[in-house]
Amino acid sequence: MRRVILEQSDDSQDNLFFHLARYKFISRLVKPSDRLIEIGCGSGYGSRYLSDYVGEVVAVDEEVEMIDYARGRFVKPNLAYDTGIGERSGFDVVVCLEVIEHMSKDKGRQLLATIRSLMNPGGVAFISTPRKIPNPSENRKKYHVHEYEYEEYREILEETFSRALVLTQVDEIISTHNPACAWNFVAICYQ
């Protein structure tokens, strides 16, 4: 799945709905007092959505253009944007959707360790990735450095977190579908 920029007419509605489903899922599991960081926030619409459900959101993306866009489009008093994580810590919730596949497996491990270090004791992380498919498109191969099969994804998460529940996403439904039928994996990870 590619980045979603709401004003771009070439973004399919399906792509938007699949992304929004993950944010809606997360919104049902957070608390108004939570402090949340999103790593890889892209255009910022998801961070803006989640800011209605938590006390504070820090939205991070390494692409300056995306952060500039988000700052101009999605503004709220409890929502801040940045191009790096810096020395931050102490988050109740960490969100990292559709990021880990854009790096090698070793860099993915480093990302997971960073996510864990950002979490408060008792914190939770939501981490999603597309399921590895046998014949990916050229575009997908170009941007996805390492895609995960279900067991591999579960194992790499369990190396870092005390518990990891890996759910599957088919269309807008996130549940315990058969992993072989999933489009995406959505993990709930505990420190």
- 126-145 pLDDT, tens digit per residue, is 999 999 988 888 888 888 99
**Cβ atoms of residues 125 and 96 within 8 Å:** yes
Question: pLDDT, tens digit, for every residue of 5-23?
Answer: 666 645 566 677 888 999 9
Buried b (16+ CB within 10 A) or exposed e, 65-97: ebbebbeeebeeeebebbeebeeeeebbbbbbb
Question: pLDDT, tens digit, for every residue of 46-98?
Answer: 999 999 999 999 999 999 999 999 999 999 999 999 999 988 999 999 999 99
Average pLDDT over residues 96-108: 96
Q: What is the pLDDT of residue 2?
A: 55
How sure is the predictor about 1, in pLDDT bands with cuts at 50, 70 and 90?
A: very low
Can you list the domains of the chain with their CATH numbers?
13-190 (3.40.50.150)
Q: What is the pLDDT of residue 131?
A: 93
Question: pLDDT, tens digit, for every residue of 136-185?
Answer: 888 888 889 999 999 999 999 999 999 999 999 998 999 998 999 999 99
**Eight-state DSSP code of residue 41:** -
Identity of residue 52: D
Total-model pTM: 0.93
Give me the residue label for tokens 């860099």.
107
Q: What is the pLDDT of residue 142?
A: 87
Strands (E), the chain: 35-39, 56-60, 79-82, 91-97, 119-130, 163-170, 173-175, 184-190
Cα 14 from chain centroid (whole Å): 18
Q: What is the pLDDT of residue 9?
A: 46
Residues forming a β-bridge with 167: 186
pLDDT higher at 1 or 173: 173
